[in-house]
Amino acid sequence: MDTTTIIGIAASIGTGTSLLPQFFKLLKEKKAENVSIGMLAVLFSGLSLWVWYGFLKTDWIIIISNGFSLVINILTFILILRYKKTS
């Protein structure tokens, strides 16, 4: 495995797990008042495009890491819908 691949995998792990703290906080606190849906929408769009780009380039590091991030993003959005108070 070359240095470029190792850097790509490390970057993928970092970005792929970046939303996990927010996800676990939502699960624990069951409150979503301070979470930005707009931020998640922008992130969702970017991750979707990265996955598409990965398929176009046949780059499995891009596909898997951004696909994982996309799943966490979707699950986070579901928790926000579930726990956000409607006033």
Selected residue with higher pLDDT from 87 and 80: 80
- Residue 65: both structure tokens together: 């890491």
Stretch 48-52: mean pLDDT, rounded? Answer: 95
Contact criterion met (CB below 8 Å) for 73 and 43: yes
Residue range of the domain that includes 43: 3-83
Closest CA to 53 of 44, 66, 69: 66
DSSP state of 33: T
Q: How confident is the model at residue 86 (pLDDT cuts 50, 70, 90)?
A: low
Q: How many domains does the chain have?
A: 1
Average pLDDT over residues 28-53: 91
**pLDDT, position 5:** 84
Q: What is the CATH number of the domain that holds 67?
A: 1.20.1280.290
Distance, CA of 82 to CA of 13 (rounded, Å):
27
